[in-house]
Amino acid sequence: MKDRIEALTASFGASLAEVADLDALEALRVEYLGKRGHLTELMKGLRDVADKKAAGQLINSFKVDVEAKIAERETALYEEAINAQIRRAKKYNPTLTFPREMGSYHPITLATREVEAIFESMGFTIENYAEIVGDYECFEALNIPKHHPARDMQDTYYLENGQLLKTHTSAAQNAIMKKYGAPLRAIFPGRCFRNESTDACHENTFFQMEGMMIDENISISNLIYFMKTMLSEVFNRDVKVRLRPGFFPFVEPGFELDINCEICGGDGCPSCKNSGWLELCPCGMIHPNVLREGGIDTEKYTGFAFGLGLTRLAMMRYGIKDIRDFNSGSLKALSQFKSI
Amino acid sequence: MLLSMNWISDFVDLSGLDRKALIRNFTLSTAEVEDIIEKGSDTYGVVVARIISVENHPSSKKLHLLKVDTGADVLDIVCGAPNVREGMKVALATAGGSVAGHPISVATVAGFTSYGMCCSEAELGISDDNSGIWEIADDIPLGTDIKSVYDIDDIIFEVDNKSLTNRPDLWSHYGMAREFATITGRELKSPALHSVAPYDSLPEVEVKVKATELVWRYSAIKVENITRRTSPVNMRIRLYYCGSRAINFLADLTNYVMMELGQPMHAFDMRKVDKIEVQTFDKEFNFTTLDGVERLIDDRMLMITSGDEPVAVAGVMGGDASKIDDDTTSLLLESATFDGVSVRKTTTRLGLRTDASMRYEKMLDPELCRLATERLLEILLRLDGGARVISSFTDAYVNRYPTITLDFDKRYVDRYTGINIPNETIVKTLTGLGFGVKLEGDSFTVTVPSWRATKDVTIKADIIEEITRIYGYDNFDVFTSESALLPVRKETLKSEEDRIKDILVKSYRLHEVHSYIWSDAQKDKELGIETERGMRIINAQTPDHQYIRTTMIPTLLSFAKENKTYADTYGIFEIGHTVNGVRENGLCLEKSKLGTVLYSKTESEESLFMQCRDIVAEIVSDILHSTAVFESAECEYGFMHPTNTFAILVDGVRIGTLSVPHPTVLANIDKKCAVAFFELETELLAAREIKKIRYSEPSRFPGMDIDLTFNADISAVNLFALESLAMSVAGEYLTAVRVKDIYTAEGVSALTLRFSFVSTERTLTRGEVQESVDKILGAFAAEGLTLKN
């Protein structure tokens, strides 16, 4: 038995040395450790051996030795195979791929979302409203009676059924007051229309965002606070605001709100017509007639409202010089607005 | 509007104050100042001198060689003006001086030395008269600095007319002076007047107001024996600086009073107009206004007539025939208040806006009529001693504004302002602005002055503006509100539309575009699309844009065409509004719709169509947690393909349409391209009830997938129907049906479906699964689907 094991040890050693790949190693394993392999044969031979214990130990140590060597060889061969696979692998070239083109949002969508997020964080509800409204919503409910010069200021598109294309987002004020009542904090972005000829600075279709805050004791002081805070967020800097009297029938007092010019820092430059200030948004304390028309108790509640030109804001924000680009449908222009 | 600071200073003493700073701050308290122009500061060293001799230049026909006496020296001057003559007093700019920014030095002109320059009015910037040098009045001593006798120095500022829309009282220097007086806390001085009371016993002017609904007040007075022809220099300078050309003394005078007090006045030549009627006519006729233009007068325009002879368009412009001439010596002076709306409409119809009409439009204070007459007489009689009033001040005061009294208390002001403005400040401000103020404790009773009561100040809130603008918004302490914190709501449609945009941009890489709410008939025509005649805009800028769109798709197809050079493949979308008819109450049926168009030069139409299908399915699944179903449908529009138009349904409700273009439209987009599109009504998406997520625990036991291949006509098979059929017959263990493979070849097609079975309680046996499979096969066979061998 001992001789047989020694002979097998020698031939295993020789065979193992010749093994070149994992398949050959597997064949060798089967030859020695398989069901009909040499080890099984050796175990069968035990029947004829006197000192079964000693012979058994010999066989076992031979088995352990074979298993260990095969395992060791397997690891080596596996590593070699992996290395060979790595060496054979195709080298990729990342510069050769063309990234799939990304989609894009309309710049108005981006500007609107930005402003909406700011107001949402300040507790304002975001509302939606129709583009076609009646004379009542657009004028009458806003304290703009018939024959009022304010109606001349806004050249309105009228429809054959007597309705009109809304000339300002203020047209939604009445409906929103009636929908929620007071207290109320809401903004409502929307498309507006003015019947005028278009050029690089004028469009008949543009976007505004209206905002309203109504509660007990809302004051001019609050209005200044909210406008300053909101505009500082929008422009990402500590803006200075100033109010000056402005006439809009739906507010009293009414203001034009200016912010200090970013380009010159307030010293005066062509952008701000040398005044150091940029006219940005009309605002004011909501006229009692407007509140009353919206079903709000004017003895109990006051409120402010403002209108922000979203199209103008987007032009400032992205450096768009020609307002007609917004409705051009040109992807060379619009596809640039990718992120959100 | 241009305003002179000198003129304003007639009524308020601003000495010791930085006048330019005052004007700049005027923007913050009253109205927007657009420009500040300093007049005269670049003119100096100009003195009064006399021409003592005139010689012709030996070789120039135009030039003269003058000797000019400045009182101190006699200077040689070379001058090209045609009106030089011996003895004439002139404005001489001396060497070292400056004329409107042009430095004056000793110069050689055509071979002769000139020690200065004789100036024209235009050169000095005080009029546009450049016909010759300015002849100075003889009584002014030689050597006098011209600026010490004439108001060449001034600060002119321009106020944005739009910011004065609601302030009729500010269309005058006097009104502006009242603002400056209040802002600076200085006293407002009244203009000097010549009372008309002494003439009460004289005969009246014959005045008859027929159209009483269009007139507040019509007053008139007659003056004769006027001999003065030209206005004093300082009056002419003021008028010129404020944008009005001097014409003749009487015309200048009416302009001057209008600019000073805001009341338009009209002087008729009494030889042609000696009585007045104010009326409208029921027929159209032509009338020549004093600018020499013949205009068509219609039945809504208020006219002034003398007898039945029209002599002026009320509040707009006088007639050519009755205007003041150079030989006019007697006049009928009109000082009236016409209805602002009527004047505005007349100017619009005539296409003629004047300084007078602009003021009337703002709703003038009728109380001004008498004041302005008395002011005009004061100046007229001072400057022309021979003039004589020959009628009483005849006053047809046909309509009056009520006196407005407002009550409020300190608490009201505090609540509106959010700050504490002391009672004394409130009283001082309102009193300064002309309000009558009574204060008892914290309660105010305020009477609105007539010049603010025509429409501007009518309610308590209007008073707040008066108090706060003078207090100064820059002086406000700024506080956040004390409002309670409340949850923020977002309107559902808006949220859903935002989510749709995210899906389209992020998952499908589409581009959002915006267009117009109206159809573009021209672009439709280029694509061979017939523009739907929907709701019509009655005042569209072009007939091509007169119909509100009923669908988003045509504009998007045009955009797809216009972007051909952008890329080989792209998709665009817009969420916008359409009008699809009217509701029962006659109002527009306005809808919010998503339109999406995919375009490709490289992909097949079917592939684009399937991508559209996938997008719709994802939107429906994401927003409604539901399944979109597609059913073959009739074309709603001619631009859709008759074979491949599908209704998009969710739970049996149609929410949109999936289609590809009609071949003729496609050919007009591009010769070789593929296009597919869909349209969804986003309101229906937002209105549909969102299905709740219902969690079912995944089975812990292995499932079994069975693939079965059927003979099937791929173009006709309805997978949605097959899936629900299988689900309804197979029993509880069938959990999903999926398409595994589609095989098509010449004349035959086959569909391989994978049926997934699982139980939550145990591992299924082959027998149990086979039982289900047999039921499915039976049901499918009844639908004509047989197993392929």
Q: What is the DSSP string of B335-367?
A: EEEE-HHHHHHHHHHHT---HHHHHHHT---TT
Q: Does the pLDDT of residue A268 top 90, yes or no? A: no
Q: Establish if A120 touches chain B: CB-CB under 8 angstroms.
A: yes
With contact defined as beta carbons under 8 Å apart, do B310 and B282 qualify? no
What confidence tier does A340 reach under pLDDT thresholds 50, 70, 90? low
Q: Does the pLDDT of residue A2 top 90, yes or no? A: no
Q: How far is B788 from chain A (nearest CA, A)?
A: 41
Alpha carbon distance B538, B148 (integer Å): 62
What confidence tier does A113 reach under pLDDT thresholds 50, 70, 90? very high
CATH superfamily of B492-687: Bira Bifunctional Protein; Domain 2 (3.30.930.10)
Fold topology of B2-39+155-184: Phenylalanyl-tRNA Synthetase; Chain B, domain 1 (3.30.56)
- Encoded tokens for A16: 């193992």
Task: Find the residue in A nearest to B562 (Cα).
Answer: A330
With contact defined as beta carbons under 8 Å apart, do A282 and A247 qualify? no
Per-residue model confidence (pLDDT) at position A339 = 66
Q: Which value does ipTM take for this structure?
A: 0.86
User: Where in chain B is CATH 3.30.56.10?
Assistant: 2-39+155-184, 405-475
Per-residue model confidence (pLDDT) at position A152 = 60
Q: How far is B251 from chain A (nearest CA, A)?
A: 29
CB distance A245–B163 less than 8 Å?
yes
Fold topology of B197-396: Phenylalanyl-tRNA Synthetase; Chain B, domain 3 (3.50.40)
User: Where in chain B is CATH 3.30.930.10?
Assistant: 492-687
Q: What digits encode the pLDDT tens for the residues B593-617?
A: 999 999 999 999 999 999 999 999 9
Bigger pLDDT: A216 or A45? A216
Per-residue model confidence (pLDDT) at position A150 = 60
What confidence tier does A265 reach under pLDDT thresholds 50, 70, 90? confident
The enclosing H or E element of A282 equals: strand A277-286
Going from the C-alpha of B131 to that of each of B46, B119, B122, B123, B550, the distances in angstroms are 19, 11, 9, 11, 66
pTM: 0.85
Nearest to B415 among A153, A217, A256 (CB): A217
Q: How far is B34 from chain A (nearest CA, A)?
A: 9
C-beta atoms surrounding B71 within 10 Å: 13
∠ CA A247-A251-A252, rounded to 5°: 80
Going from the C-alpha of A8 to that of each of A1, A49, B160, the distances in angstroms are 10, 17, 113
B405-475 classified as CATH 3.30.56.10:
yes
Closest C-alpha to B275, from B394, B381, B388, B376: B394
CATH superfamily of B44-152: Nucleic acid-binding proteins (2.40.50.140)
Query: Is residue B264 reached through a cis peptide bond, with omega within 30 degrees of 0 on the bond before it?
Result: no
Closest C-alpha to A175, from A235, A134, A217, A233: A134
Q: What 3-state DSSP class applies to B295? A: strand
CB distance B491–A125 less than 8 Å?
yes
User: Where in chain B is CATH 2.40.50.140?
Assistant: 44-152
Alpha carbon distance B18, B29 (integer Å): 16
Alpha carbon distance B665, B306 (integer Å): 69
CB distance B537–A165 less than 8 Å?
yes
Per-residue model confidence (pLDDT) at position B293 = 95
User: Where in chain B is CATH 3.30.70.380?
Assistant: 704-787
How much is the average pLDDT of B258-285?
Answer: 96
Q: Does the pLDDT of residue B368 top 70, yes or no? A: yes
CB distance B572–A335 less than 8 Å?
no
Q: Does the pLDDT of residue B692 top 60, yes or no? A: yes
Q: Establish if A242 touches chain B: CB-CB under 8 angstroms.
A: yes
The 8-class DSSP code of residue B327 comes to T
DSSP B705-730: EEEEEEE--TTT--HHHHHHHHHHHH
CB distance B590–A132 less than 8 Å?
yes
Nearest to B579 among A104, A132, A225 (CB): A132
Whole-number percent of chain B with pLDDT over 90? 87
Alpha carbon distance A176, A186 (integer Å): 8
C-beta atoms surrounding A81 within 10 Å: 12
DSSP B518-580: B--HHHHHHHTPPPP--SBBTT-SSGGG-BB-S-SHHHHHHHHHHTTTT-SEEEEEEEEEEEE
Q: What digits encode the pLDDT tens for the residues B515-545?
A: 999 999 999 999 999 999 999 999 998 999 9
User: Which structural domains are found in chain A, ordered by start?
Assistant: 2-95 (no CATH), 107-334 (3.30.930.10)
Nearest to A106 among B465, B502, B513 (CB): B513
Q: Establish if A245 touches chain B: CB-CB under 8 angstroms.
A: yes
Contacts of A96 (CB under 8 A, 6+ apart): none
Q: What digits encode the pLDDT tens for the residues A71-84?
A: 999 999 999 989 99
Q: How far is A63 from chain B (nearest CA, A)?
A: 40
Instruction: Identify the CATH assignment for B704-787 out of 3.40.1160.10, 3.30.70.380, 3.40.50.300, 3.10.129.10.
Output: 3.30.70.380
Buried b (16+ CB within 10 A) or exposed e, B304-341: bbbeeebbbbbbbbbbebbbbeeebbbbbbbbbbbbbb
